[in-house]
Chains A and B, each alone.
Chain A
Amino acid sequence: MSAAGRLELGRIGLRGDTLLDSENSARDGELAVRVRILGNPATTGRPIEDGSRLVVRTSVHGHRDDDDELTLVTSELELLGRLDLDHVDRLLAGTFAEIWTGIGIERAGYANGDHDNSSVLLGGFRWGMYLGQRGEATLFYDHRRDSIAGGISVFHSSGFVGSVGAAVDVVVAPHWGIRTQLEIGSAYLTTLALRYQGGSR
């Protein structure tokens, strides 16, 4: 079970996520700050004609596994860009591409008091299409291996590739939206989310 909240303040977005497993033996939490360097802010209350943007994101992610007495804390810095593809060719209007890259520093703490520090290469790309003004559908590749999904098992290349997935975000009623996502890595991760969108318009 997961819960998340996001607050958009002009070009700055704050986000918090929590995730609990059904047996309450593992927990995840994340706090993230996003700064939109280029592109239209999403807080004008008016539909955005061009979704292209460049965003810097920094976050702290924590994971605790009680069974293995394992604690992971990851600090990340990431640069994300989205380009509406009608800038490339008008025939591609209504579609967009995203790419992101960054680095994370991970600290793993074990029951014996020892800890390991490691680095995480962040990166990926996403192709998507706008569903009118109601949402978007995307296909993506995420290179990171430290998430719940982990990396996909690919013939002869396991350990070198991340996860792939598809997601649909759609508004179903004023203020309400639904997100569905399938991510395939070392694990299959399916998400069904109900979103409430409040605030001033």
Chain B
Amino acid sequence: MTRRTPCLALVVLAACTRPGEDRAVLELAVGHASISGASVEVAEGLAAVRNLTDHQLELWSGAPILAITLVLDDTEAGEWTITARNSMSDAVLVEGDDVIHIREPGDRSTVATFRLVLGAGTHELRLAPPDADRLEPFRVAAMADIQTALPVVDDVFEAISAVPDVRYVIAMGDLTERGRIDEYELFERQLATLSVPFYTTLGNHELWGDPDRFFDRFGRASFHFEFKGAAFSFVDSGDAGIDPLVEQWLGGWLAQAKDRPHIFLTHVPPIDPVGVRYGAFRSMRDGHRLLAQLADGDVDLTLYGHIHTYIEFENAGIPAYISGGGGAQPMKGDGIDRHFLVVDISATAQKPIVDVELHRIE
């Protein structure tokens, strides 16, 4: 006895959820501030404006090169103190085309303070190390997943500081365990042991707290910058997906950097190389779509965190590393524990990602 059962589904409607939409919109406010008589705008939101008061500007740099527009009226003209935290130790402030301001002595290497006299009007300032646009090989460190190890992360920072020629750290999020203010404060105190800037996106653990705490302190979680001919794109995947607005930004960054070395960083791997573990995007299709876009954009290196181990693999033909060794509860049995990566990059080399080296914290 048989039974045939043709079945016709008339309508299947799908609508995406957007848990990251509010965060993406919040990011657009990063890098702008104004008071009566003065306003500041950091291009691409690449710095958080921590303070803009009478003749004082304090920034937290999210990139090695900042383009700052400061507009003053007569009441705010005069001597200004500009402090850029998390900046490169050799960064100088260039006003207009040729007026170079050297940082004040005495601050620690990542805090650059400048005093300059500014008249009423619009001032275009550029904060960058002198070699920022030179196409020479350079080296960065990469890490993620500090979380409960915040009290001892200074070990990792000291180890990074001891590696010769590291220009800055790029990080894939999960700086904190619960996104609490006291954790962010501790993290910032621990950064005092790091001799270079720390540029980071956020992770899912930052979302335990109000994401504004991250944006107000460290600036955007999805951002893009270039240094010495290489491009870096950081993308917020804290809720295991990428908001369509961020995807749109990423599309622009991929097009902009198609002809140069490009490093992509996000917290959650789009696809977990151990698939059944599902330590990846909540939609595998979205994960594969992202990888298709990265491959189409000729990305040279992808860096992820979230999984507390070290894995070297390839996704969509792009070299990929999961490096969750900032100290968070390590994966049992993998023998990796705390670690960071050192990445050597050369925009003029045939193979622009010259080397990716694992450094363990003993």
Q: Given A110-B292, A186-B282, 4 other A-B contacts at CB below 8 A?
A: A3-B8, A110-B295, A116-B291, A120-B275
* Contact between chains at A159 and B282 (CB < 8 Å): yes
Contacts of A121 in B (CB 8 A): 275-278
B15 CB–A CB distance under 8 Å: yes
* Contact between chains at B3 and A108 (CB < 8 Å): no
B245 CB–A CB distance under 8 Å: no
Instruction: Give residues in B with beta carbon < 8 Å to A.
Output: 1-17, 19, 204-205, 207-208, 239-241, 268, 271-286, 288-289, 291-293, 295-296, 306, 314-317
In the assembly, what is the distance between CA of A150 and CA of B17, in Å?
11
Contacts of A112 in B (CB 8 A): 295-296, 316-317
A148 CB–B CB distance under 8 Å: yes
Given A148-B285, A150-B285, A159-B280, check contact A19 B7 (CB 8 Å).
no
- Measured CB to CB, the nearest residue on chain A to B20 is A153
* Contact between chains at A197 and B5 (CB < 8 Å): yes
* Contact between chains at A186 and B8 (CB < 8 Å): no
Choose from B7, B10, B277, B286 the contact partner of A186 (Cβ within 8 Å).
B286
Contacts of A42 in B (CB 8 A): 3
In the assembly, what is the distance between CA of A194 and CA of B8, in Å?
5
Contacts of B288 in A (CB 8 A): 68, 70, 72, 108, 116
Contact string, A144-168, partner B, CB cutoff 8 A, digits 1/0? 0111111111001011110000000
In the assembly, what is the distance between CA of A152 and CA of B314, in Å?
27
Choose from B5, B282, B292, B317 the contact partner of A151 (Cβ within 8 Å).
B282
Instruction: Give residues in A with beta carbon < 8 Å to B.
Output: 1-10, 19, 42-45, 63, 65, 68-70, 72, 103, 106, 108, 110-114, 116, 118-121, 143, 145-153, 156, 158-161, 179, 184-201
Given A150-B285, A158-B241, check contact A68 B280 (CB 8 Å).
no
Choose from A63, A110, A193, A198 the contact partner of B10 (Cβ within 8 Å).
A193
Given A4-B8, A119-B276, check contact A106 B284 (CB 8 Å).
yes
* Contact between chains at B275 and A192 (CB < 8 Å): no
* Contact between chains at B17 and A186 (CB < 8 Å): yes
* Contact between chains at A195 and B8 (CB < 8 Å): yes
Q: Which 8 A-B pairs have the closest CB atoms?
A: A150-B283, A114-B317, A159-B240, A151-B282, A119-B275, A158-B240, A199-B3, A2-B9
Chain B nearest CB, measured from A38 CB (Å): 19
Contacts of A146 in B (CB 8 A): 284-285
In the assembly, what is the distance between CA of A103 and CA of B241, in Å?
23
Given A6-B5, A8-B5, check contact A118 B241 (CB 8 Å).
no
Contacts of B205 in A (CB 8 A): 156
Given A118-B271, A120-B276, check contact A43 B296 (CB 8 Å).
no
In the assembly, what is the distance between CA of A150 and CA of B19, in Å?
14
* Contact between chains at B16 and A186 (CB < 8 Å): yes
In the assembly, what is the distance between CA of A6 and CA of B2, in Å?
11
Find the residue from B272, B275, B277, B285 having the highest chain A CB count within 10 A: B285
Contacts of A120 in B (CB 8 A): 275-276, 284
* Contact between chains at B289 and A68 (CB < 8 Å): yes
* Contact between chains at A9 and B2 (CB < 8 Å): yes
- Measured CB to CB, the nearest residue on chain A to B272 is A118
Given A186-B17, A198-B5, check contact A160 B10 (CB 8 Å).
no
* Contact between chains at B9 and A193 (CB < 8 Å): yes
Chain A nearest CB, measured from B299 CB (Å): 11
